[in-house]
Chains A and B, each alone.
Chain A
Amino acid sequence: MTDETLSQPHTSPSGRLTAAWLLLVGLTLASGVLADQQGALLTEGAVLALAAFKGRCVALRFMGLEHAPAWLRRAVLGWLFGVVGFIALTLI
C-alpha cells in the first residue's frame, strides 16, 4: 500500500480508520495461514514483510503519524524498518 492509497481524500477519518482496521485483521489472518505453509525462508520472509506493513499502517493511521512532524514519522518508521531489517538479515 502506498501513501496515496493510505490517504484517500474523500473518506471520513472514521471510515479510513475502519478500512485500516479491516486491512490489519485480514493481513493478520493471512499471516497465520502463510505460517502454516512449509516454505521456510520464503514463508518467513513473507510473514515478516506482512508484519512490517501492518506496523507501518498502525504508525501512520492509528498513531496519526501521517500528519505528524517529519522527524517523528522518520523516527518511528526508522525504528520499525531498522528492527525488521535486522530480523530479515538473521533469517538469511
Chain B
Amino acid sequence: MQSFIRGMQKIAVLLTVIFSITSTPTISFASVTTCATANYSVIYINGIWTTDAKSAALELQRAIGTTYNGQAVKVSIAYNKTHGKTSDLAEVFQQKLSEYPGVAAELLIKGLTSGIGFGLPDPLIDFIHSYNMGKIRDADSVGYSDEDLRDIVGFIRGSITENQKILLVPHSQGNLYANSAYAALTSGSDAIPAGSIKIVGIASPAAYVGGDGDYVSSTNDLVINGLRASSLSVLPANLAVSITTDDLSGHGMTEVYLNPTREGRAEIIKRIKNALSSLLEPGGQGGQGPITVTLTWGAQPDVDLHVFEPDGTHVYYQNKQGTVGMLDLDVTDSHGPEHYFTSCGLLQPGAYKIGVNYFYGNSAEVATITITTPLGSVTRNVLLNTVLGTTGNSSPIMVSTIVVTRNVNGSYDFQVI
C-alpha cells in the first residue's frame, strides 16, 4: 500500500509541474470602469516604512471623500525613497524574534513597521523607538536627488497641466520628501504656481513645512518627541492626540493620527479641507482622460511629442487630432508643455506608442515625459543630443508603450511598459 501511495505521489508531483508550466502567469491588471476626472489631486507620502502606506492612504481617502465643494478629489500614493536605509529590517526582525521568543511574530513586525501594539516588553519597545528614530535621522542626513523626485514631480506637473489643484499629505519622514518636492516644483524658470500646491504635514520631523503649509504633530508622539529631544530641529507639537493601544508610540498614521476614536482625525481633515479651500486653479489647459501624456523639457526652444495610436494614427503637431485622442497643448517655447489625452468614449484597446523628437535647439536637452492612467503615473527622462527638425517626425525616439486591454467585465486595463 505504501509503495502504491509513493508511486501516486510521484505522479502527482509530475502533474503539478506540468500544470505550472502550462498555466498562465498569475499577475493580472487592475481594472477601472469609471472615466473620472479630478479637480483636486491629494498625494499621500508615506514615512520610513512603505508597509503602512496603503492602509494610511486608503484611510485618508475615506476620510476626505471623493468630492470637495462639488469638485472631484483624486487620492494617490507617492512612495517615499529610503535609499536602502530600511534594508536591515528582516535581519533585525530575526534577531528580535530570537531575543524575545515569547513575542508573537505578527506583533513584532507590526511594532517595527506600523504601530507598537499592546503586549511588547518594555526593552523591546525602547529598541523600536530608537530604531525608528534612527531611520528618520538617517533619511534626514541623505536628502533627495532630482532622480529621487522624478516621478512625483512629473506626476504633479502633469496634474498642473490639467488644471488640478495639488495637496501633499506626508507622514513622518515623508515630510522631508514633500518639502524637497515642493522646493523643486516652485523654483526655477519652470516653477508651477505656488498658489496651486500646498502641504499639510502629519507627524513631521522637519523644521518647517514647505510653502508655509500646515501640520499636525501630537504631543504624545514619542518618535517625534524623541527626535526633538535629540536636538534635531523639529516643528513643535500642536495637538494632543491621546494614546491608543493600537500604537503606543503615538506616531502611526493609521493607528493614531487617522484613528476615528482619537482627536487627530477630525483636526487633520479640518486642516486638509482648509488647505483645499485655499488652493487656486493653476490655469492648465490640458484635457483629462484615461490616458494623458505630458512632455516638458528645459531651456531649449522646442521638443515635440509624438503618439502612435492603436490604429496607426500618428498624432503630433502636424496632425493634432487622432482617432482616440488629441494633442491639445503644443507650446514651442522653453519648458513646454506638450500634452496628449484620450477621450473616454473613444478609448480603444491596443498599444499607444509614445515618442519625442528634438525639433529645435542649440545644445543637449532632457525631455521629461509623464504618462498617467487611472492607475497612476510613470515619468521618464530622455537625453536629446541631436536636433533633427522635421527629419525626426517620421522616426521619433520611442519612450514608452501603453498597452490597453479590455477584460471580460467590459472595463479597461492599463499597463505602461
Bind each other: no
